[in-house]
Chain A
């Protein structure tokens, strides 16, 4: 197993991000089971909870097998990681303590509350509590985030507002910075100083981009639980990192995760577009280098 783990060349950041993606995948399986088999939220939560426990054990095992490795990173001034951690701490405080805005078009909290109240998935309209007049579209029905959050509430006993608006965004914040940390490895190699400066600037830029609902800063600070935020802050940077380093399995995972958290055109989402773009980019680069070698 140690050989397999070393061959994949993964780090703790990879474990965290793929762990988040795996949780989404498990929630999707539980969600579909609940939706099509009519299972209650209790059963759905247990399915997801069981998987989460196995995943946690697996991650601990992999991390133990990885052991301490000398990645030969260029060391940096201690102030940089401390400054970065301080910025993250302030963001975590903000997310945990501040009242969340109501985002137009977002009905996640209503849906989670309804799932828990009705003990089932998509049984009534979350906006009125009454029956649906028209059938739901399949590409909305398959989105699993409300089920995931409902399972978290059921297993932990937390109120939906606390779990969805304050706890989940903290997990997304962690995933965001781990994804950007991996991306910084592509951009700056083993230079830790540049990588931490990059992360500090990412944290600052996210504070500045809070002007509109589609900006990344708004997603992190006000809507960390939304599918578009998970896509923009975790999946897309991770897809870029995977595609630029030709670790296509990461891109594949992100494409599948996006299908579960955002509405897409028959599963064709942004991660797939980015992966396609990077494949074309690599192909063009290889052709160019072949031509240069031939000449």
Chain B
């Protein structure tokens, strides 16, 4: 039943993400009703479309596909891009020349019509790009990364953690991004101890506090109690796990340092403060 539910929700999500799929329906209807015969390619497309739309068969495909992949990947079975492009070619080369309007103007209008449909149904051509905040985080990490050595075992905010193992294979982490990314966790299947999960949740609360502070004009608001009460336990857990370098945004560190345990040397690197365990 959960597969059927995932299939039903997935269809709706896919149609929202890919409105150009309507072009596939249009070409199939045109070929079927006007030509009354489908080419082997379109017969395959029609069969795949029916299998993907019918929840029972879609659920069977979800069982066939490893659970690590989303429902949306099932639509790779149907050559959506090829069908949309095929529809455009049929319109421009086979349907338009038969139109009654004289002259080459109809080809220009036809080409603009195709481009317009693609543009409007295709998310107006917007591609996903790295945001300015993300770019600032990346460059902030570049600066930080120069201070790490092969003995470093880091405990960093989540926003920085994704860069550590991508750029530095020698720097270890107390926990990885599989702590919150279920898809990444599906690869290694490792599970973390409850104390480490609690330390991760503590750092998450600090990150949210940091976002609040950076976006607020005032600094004289109360520090959340959970951050104060659990600070020592989180530091102790990380220390037991081998963590020897902890990173905080400086603006947050200055606000919270009175609640942190002693035994750490501090170093300022750009917008961040590093706490290194004293040997």
Q: CB within 8 Å of B: which residues of A?
A: 94, 98-102, 104-107, 109-110, 113-114, 116-118, 125-130, 132-134, 136-137, 139-140, 160-161, 180, 183, 186-188, 191, 193-194, 197-199, 201-202, 204-218, 221-222, 228, 231-232, 236-237, 240, 244, 263-265, 268, 270, 273-274, 277-278, 281-282, 285
Complex formed: what's the CA distance from A71 to B82 in Å? Answer: 23
A136-B188 in contact (CB<8A): yes
Number of interface residues of B (CB under 8 A): 74
Quick one: given A129-B173, A207-B125, are A240 and B77 in contact (CB under 8 Å)? no
- Report, nearest first, the 5 A-B pairs whose CB atoms are least far apart: A208-B122, A105-B183, A117-B169, A127-B176, A214-B72
Complex formed: what's the CA distance from A277 to B191 in Å? Answer: 40
Q: B220 on the interface (CB 8 Å rule)? A: no
Q: Which residue of A lies closest to B180 (CB)?
A: A104
Complex formed: what's the CA distance from A205 to B121 in Å? Answer: 10
- Determine which residue in A202, A215, A282 has the highest number of CB atoms from chain B within 10 A of its CB, and name it: A215
Complex formed: what's the CA distance from A213 to B115 in Å? Answer: 24
Quick one: given A104-B183, A125-B190, A204-B115, are A212 and B84 in contact (CB under 8 Å)? no
A136-B189 in contact (CB<8A): yes
A197-B93 in contact (CB<8A): yes
B18-A202 in contact (CB<8A): no
Quick one: given A105-B184, A136-B189, A211-B123, are A281 and B44 in contact (CB under 8 Å)? yes
Q: Nearest Cβ in chain B — how far from A202, in angstroms?
A: 5
Complex formed: what's the CA distance from A126 to B81 in Å? Answer: 34
Q: Which residues from B are CB-within-8-Å of A191?
A: 93
Q: Which residues from B are CB-within-8-Å of A282?
A: 40
Q: CB within 8 Å of A: which residues of B?
A: 13-14, 17-18, 20, 39-41, 43-44, 47-48, 64-66, 68-70, 72-73, 75-77, 79-82, 84-86, 88-89, 92-93, 114-115, 118-119, 121-123, 125-130, 135, 138, 162, 165-178, 181-184, 186-191
Q: Which residues from B are CB-within-8-Å of A134?
A: 188-191
Q: Which residues from A are CB-within-8-Å of B92?
A: 197
Q: Which residues from A are CB-within-8-Å of B75?
A: 214
Pick from A104, A110, A197: contact of B166, CB below 8 A.
A110
Pick from B64, B77, B115: contact of A274, CB below 8 A.
B77
Pick from A160, A180, A228: contact of B82, CB below 8 A.
A180
Quick one: given A105-B181, A117-B169, A125-B188, are A228 and B89 in contact (CB under 8 Å)? no
Complex formed: what's the CA distance from A161 to B76 in Å? Answer: 27
Q: Which residues from B are CB-within-8-Å of A194?
A: 89, 93
Complex formed: what's the CA distance from A205 to B72 in Å? Answer: 17
Complex formed: what's the CA distance from A262 to B173 in Å? Answer: 27
B81-A202 in contact (CB<8A): yes
Complex formed: what's the CA distance from A207 to B118 in Å? Answer: 10
B70-A236 in contact (CB<8A): no
Complex formed: what's the CA distance from A285 to B39 in Å? Answer: 11
Q: Which residues from A are CB-within-8-Å of B118?
A: 201, 204-205, 208
Quick one: given A194-B93, A228-B76, A240-B79, are A133 and B181 in contact (CB under 8 Å)? no
Q: Nearest Cβ in chain B — how far from A147, in angstroms?
A: 15
Complex formed: what's the CA distance from A201 to B85 in Å? Answer: 5
A102-B82 in contact (CB<8A): no
Q: Which residues from A are CB-within-8-Å of B40?
A: 244, 281-282, 285
Q: Which residues from B are CB-within-8-Å of A99?
A: 129-130, 135, 138
B128-A281 in contact (CB<8A): no
Q: Which residues from A are CB-within-8-Å of B130?
A: 98-101
Q: Nearest Cβ in chain B — how far from A216, in angstroms?
A: 5
